[in-house]
Amino acid sequence: MAIEFSSIRKEGLSVQIANAIRSAIIDGRLVVEERLPSEAELSDRFGVSRSTVREALKRLAAQNLIRSERGSSGGAFVNRITRDEAQESLVTTLRLMIGMNDIAFEEAIEARFTLESACLGLAAGRCKAEDLAELRAEIDRQRSPDLSDEDFCASDVTFHSIVGRATGNPLLAFQMAGAVEAMQPLMNMLVYRLRDRHRIADLHEGIANALEQRNADAAWQNLEALASYTRELADKRRAPRQGSGDTSNN
């Protein structure tokens, strides 16, 4: 291990220890799946109590950096972060930023559609048959009449996540999916009448068709229309006083 920590006082011990281990992981001195020393041994090495070590480990676990297993051959292991864990973390962060840092609805929508337009450029050249199939499956779903508003939104999220994946670039897929999912609560605030849903499904189909024909321009046009339409819906929602935050489903 050889984890040193140059005491920046005023930070609690558990924070210092967490930082020491975190940097050891991030710059590779501890490799994935490697087992850390036991809590008892860590408290010895760092010269602190076991509770303090534990609080440090919990911090790291909350960042998905380590995972703890019980039992005789248990311990804390450097965690290979999964796509899902990373995405959950991204979504949480984005939602917090949106919720607490005066990010306007319009700004969120713009960021999301800007990102997606970038993805479409790549996806048009690369998307596979199976991506298209999944896209069309979601479109069908969106057209089924007995779908709650929230399920419709969820399908919308899935659709655009697939667009991200269709770029064939895992990082773009990750950022796209994170952004779309983070904005689901915002989208959930909108009211989708039946003809809104059909209009949206049609535009989605336009995108899918454009991708199938490898026609990026057509895809962009449909996305642009989708963005405008979303803005219209958002304006309607905003207009009649934005109160009564009930999303009365069922």
Q: Which residues are bridge partners to 68 per DSSP?
A: 76
Burial of 13 (0-12, 13-18, 19+ CB in 10 A): middle
Q: How far is the CB of 192 from its own copies (least distance, A)?
A: 21
Say whether 107 sits in a helix, a strand or coil.
helix
The two beta strands, 66-69 and 75-78, are antiparallel
Q: Is 244 left (phi over 0), alpha (psi -120 to 50) or beta?
A: left
Stretch that binds its own copies, among 39-47, 105-113, 211-219, 230-238 (CB under 8 A): 105-113
Closest C-alpha to 188, from 146, 158, 226, 153: 153
- Regarding 44 and contact with DNA (CB under 7 A), the answer is no
- Regarding 48 and contact with DNA (CB under 7 A), the answer is yes
Q: How far is the CB of 9 from DNA (least distance, A)?
A: 8
Among positions 30, 65, 76, 115, the unique one binding DNA when judged by CB under 7 A: 76
Name the residues that contact its own copies, by CB under 8 A: 14, 18, 26, 28, 32, 51, 54-55, 58-65, 80-81, 83, 86, 89-90, 92-101, 103, 107-108, 110-111, 114-115, 117-119, 121-122, 167, 169-172, 174-175, 179
Name the residues that contact DNA, by CB under 7 A: 12-15, 36, 38-40, 47-52, 54-55, 57, 68-76
